[in-house]
Amino acid sequence: MARAYDVQAVEKKWQHLWSDEHTYEVDADDPRPPKYVLCMYPYPSGPAHQGHVRNYTFGDLLVRHQTMKGNAVLSPFGFDSFGLPAENAAIRTGEHPRSFTDARIAELKESVIALGAVYDWRRELRSHDPSYIRFNQVIFLHLLEAGLAYRAKAPVNWCPGCQTVLANEQVLADGTCERSGDLVTRRDLEQWFFRITAYADELLESLDDLEWPERVKTMQRNWIGRSEGVEFDLKVVGTTGGRDDSAGSGAPVLRVFTTRPDTGFGVTYAVVAPEHPLVDLLTTPAHRKAVDELRARAALASEIERTSSEGAGLAKRGAFTGSYARNPFSGEDVPIYVADYVLMGYGTGAIMAVPAEDERDFAFAQEHGLPIIRTTDPPDGFEGGAWTGGGVKINSGFLDGLDVVDAKDRAMEWIEAEGIGVRKVNYRLRDWLVSRQRYWGCPIPVVYCQSCGIVPVPEDQLPVLAPDDVEFLPGGESPLARHTGFRNTTCPKCAEPAVRDCDTMDTFVDSSWYFLRFCDPWNDRQPFDPAVARHFMPVDQYIGGIEHAILHLLYARFFTKALIDVGLAEGLGREPFRRLFTQGMIRMDGTKMSKSKGNLVAPAKYLDTVGADALRLFHLFVGPPADDVDWSSQTDEVIEGCGHFLDRVWRLTVEVSGLSRPEAPDGKAEPALDHGLSGRPNEALPIWSYDQPAARDVDLLRETHRMVDKVTRDLERWSFNTAVAACMAFANTLQRYLRDSERTGPGGGNGPSGGGERAHRPTYDQAADALLLVLAPMTPHLAAEAWEHRHGAGARVHAQPWPTADPELVRVQTTTLVIQVNGKVRDRIEVDPSITEAGAVELALASPKVMAVLGSAKPSRVVARPPRLVNVVG
RNA sequence: GCCCGGAUGGCGGAAUCGGUAGACGCGGGGGCCUCAAAAGCCCUUGCCCUUCGGGGCGUGCGGGUUCGAGUCCCGCUCCGGGCACCA
ipTM of the complex: 0.95
Q: What is the pLDDT of residue A672?
A: 35
Whether the bond between A44 and the residue before it is cis, its omega within 30 degrees of 0, is no
Evaluate if residue A676 carries a pLDDT over 50: no
Q: Is the CB of A349 under 7 A from strand B?
A: yes
Task: Summarize pLDDT for A199-234 with one digit per residue, the tens.
Answer: 999 999 999 889 998 889 988 998 898 999 999 999
Distance, CA of A515 to CA of A576 (rounded, Å): 8
Compute the half-sphere exposure of residue A573: CA atoms within 13 Å on the CB side of its CA.
14
Rounded to 10 degrees, what is the CA torsion of A627, A630, A634, A636?
80
Instruction: For residue range A436-464, list pLDDT tens digits in order.
Output: 888 999 999 999 999 999 999 999 999 99
CA–centroid distance for A698 within its chain: 45
pLDDT, residue A252, reads 86
Distance from CA(A437) to C1'(B82), angstroms, rounded: 29
How is residue A121 annotated by DSSP?
G
What's the pLDDT at A59?
96
Closest nt to residue A353, judged CA to C1': B87
- Give per-residue pLDDT as tens, A488-541: 999 999 999 999 999 999 999 999 999 999 999 999 999 999 999 999 999 999
Chain A, 632-691: which CBs lie within 7 Å of strand B? 632, 634, 637-638, 640-641, 644-645, 647-648, 676-680
- The pLDDT value recorded for residue A17 is 96
DSSP run (H or E) holding A514: helix A514-517
Q: Is A360 near strand B, with its CB below 7 A from some atom of it?
A: yes
Range 29-68, chain A: CB under 7 Å to any strand B atom? none
CB-contacted nucleotides of strand B (7 Å): 1, 3-5, 10-16, 19-21, 23-27, 32-33, 38-42, 55-57, 67-69, 79-87
Q: Nearest nucleotide by C1' from A871 CA? A: B67
Alpha helices in A652-798 (DSSP H): 695-716, 720-744, 761-775, 780-791
Strand B closer than 7 A to residue A428 Cβ? yes
ω into residue A463 within 30 of 0, thus cis? yes
Q: Number of helices and strands (H, E) in chain A?
A: 28, 32
* Strand B close to A169 by CB, under 7 A: no
Residue A512 CA, nucleotide B70 C1', distance (Å):
43
Which range among A171-180, A231-240, A672-681, A828-837 has the greatest average pLDDT?
A828-837
Whether A180 CB is under 7 Å from strand B: no
pLDDT of the residue at A246: 46
Q: Tell how strand A688-689 and strand A861-865 pair up.
A: unpaired
pLDDT band with cut points at 50, 70 and 90 for residue A619: very high
* CA nearest neighbour of A583 among A109, A220, A39, A36: A39
* Interatomic distance A358 CA / B19 C1' (Å): 50
Q: Please tell me what DSSP assigns to residue A546.
A: G
CA A412 to C1' B84, in angstroms, rounded, equals 29
**Protein CA at A614 to nucleotide C1' at B24, angstroms:** 16
Strand B proximity: list residues 284-323 of A with CB under 7 Å: 306-307, 309, 311-313, 316-317
CA distances from A725 to A517, A637, A764, A775 (A): 39, 17, 20, 12
pLDDT over 70 (residue A421)? yes
Which residues 73-92 on A are within 7 A of strand B at the CB atom? none
A714 touches strand B (CB under 7 A): yes
Cβ A830 to strand B below 7 Å = no
Tell me: pLDDT of A745 over 90: no
CA A600 to C1' B11, in angstroms, rounded, equals 21
Which residues in window 250-279 of A are less than 7 A from strand B by Cβ? 257-260, 273
Q: How far is the CA of A617 from the C1' of B13 (A)?
A: 15
Tell me how far CA of residue A409 lies from CA of A257, A263, A663, A767, in angstroms.
Answer: 15, 12, 82, 69
**For the segment A76-98, what is each residue's pLDDT rounded down to a tens digit?**
999 999 988 898 888 888 899 99
Q: Is residue A873's beta carbon less than 7 angstroms from any atom in nucleic acid strand B?
A: yes
CA of A624 to C1' of B14 (A): 11
CB A44 within 8 A of CB A104: yes
Nearest alpha carbon to residue A114 among A742, A616, A867: A616
Is residue A817 pLDDT above 60, yes or no?
yes
Mean pLDDT of A61-81: 97
| d(C-alpha A766, C-alpha A364), whole Å | 76
A712 touches strand B (CB under 7 A): no
Give the H/E segment covering residue A158: strand A149-159
Task: Report which DSSP code applies to A652.
Answer: I
pLDDT at A677 > cutoff 80? no
Least confident interval from A31-45, A585-599, A651-665, A763-777: A651-665
In 10 A of CB A218, how many CB atoms?
13
* Strand segments (E) across A391-431: 421-426
**Window A738-757, strand B contacts by Cβ < 7 Å:** 739
Taking the C1' atom of every nucleotide in all shown strands and the CA of A3, the nearest one is B39
pLDDT score recorded for residue A765 = 93
Asked if residue A118 lies in contact with residue A60, where contact means CB atoms within 8 angstroms, the answer is yes
Which residues in 575-634 of chain A line strand B, with CB less than 7 A from it?
590-592, 621-624, 627-628, 630, 632, 634
CB A78 within 8 A of CB A126: yes
Residue A662's closest CA among A17, A2, A1? Answer: A17
Q: Could you please report the per-residue DSSP string of A230-253?
A: EEEEEEEES--SSS-GGGSSS--E
Task: Name the β-bridge partners of A74.
Answer: A36
- pLDDT > 80? residue A157: no
Strands of the sheet with A815-821, listed across from one edge: A824-831, A815-821, A869-873, A861-865
Distance measured from the CA of protein residue A674 to the C1' of nucleotide B65, in angstroms: 61
CB within 7 A of strand B (chain A, 542-581): 546, 550
What lies within 8 Å, CB to CB, of A317 at 6+ separation is A294, A297, A311, A339, A340, A341
Burial code of A584-598, b = ≥16 C-beta within 10 A, e = fewer? bbbbbeeeebbeeee
CA of A642 to C1' of B48 (A): 35
The DSSP line for A801-819 is PPP---HHHHS-S-EEEEE
| Per-residue pLDDT at A744 | 56
* CA A811 / C1′ B19 distance in Å: 20
> With 60 as the cut, is the pLDDT of residue A718 above it?
yes
Distance, CA of A78 to C1' of B86, in Å: 37
pLDDT for A661: 37
Strand B and A708 CB separated by under 7 Å: no
**pLDDT at position A665:** 37
What is the rounded distance in angstroms from the CA atom of residue A568 to the CA atom of residue A565? 8
Residue A656 confidence class, pLDDT cut points 50, 70, 90? confident
Nucleotide nearest to A426 (CA to C1'): B86
Q: Report the mean per-residue pLDDT for chain A.
A: 87
Q: How far is the CA of A772 from the C1' of B28 (A)?
A: 32
CB of A2 within 7 Å of some strand B atom: yes
DSSP class of residue A654?
A: I
Spatial distance from the CA of A408 to the C1' of B5 (Å): 34
In this predicted structure, what is the pLDDT of residue A666? 42
pLDDT reading at A738 higher than 60: yes
Q: Is the CB of A845 under 7 A from strand B?
A: no
Closest nucleotide C1' to the C-alpha of A738: B41
- B51 C1' to A846 CA distance, Å: 28
From the CA of A785 to the C1' of B72: give the distance in Å.
Answer: 49
Rama region for A369: left / alpha / beta (φ>0; ψ in -120 to 50; rest) = left
Distance A215 CA to B79 C1' (A): 19
- Secondary structure letter of residue A342 according to DSSP: S
**Contact, A760 vs A694, CB < 8 A?**
yes
Let me know the angle formed at the C-alpha of A714 by A710 and A718, rounded to the nearest 5 degrees: 175
Q: Which of residues 471-510 of A touch strand B (CB under 7 A)?
A: none
Predicted confidence at residue A740, as pLDDT, reads 82
pLDDT band at A5 (very low <50, low <70, confident <90, very high): very high
Beta strands A185-194 and A227-237 are unpaired
Is any atom of nucleic acid chain B found less than 7 Å from the CB of residue A831? no
Rounded to 5 degrees, what are φ and ψ at A381?
85, 0
Give the distance, in angstroms, between residue A829 CA and nucleotide B20 C1'.
11
In this prediction, residues A120-131 reach a mean pLDDT of: 97
* Banded pLDDT at A859 (limits 50, 70, 90): confident
pLDDT value at residue A291:
92
* Nucleotide with smallest C1' distance to residue A731 CA: B24
Residue A553: CB atoms within 10 Å: 25
Which nucleotide minimizes the distance between its C1' and the CA of A547? B82
Residue with minimal CA–C1' distance to B34 is: A679
Q: What is d(CA A455, CA A493) in angstroms, rounded to the nearest whole number?
A: 7
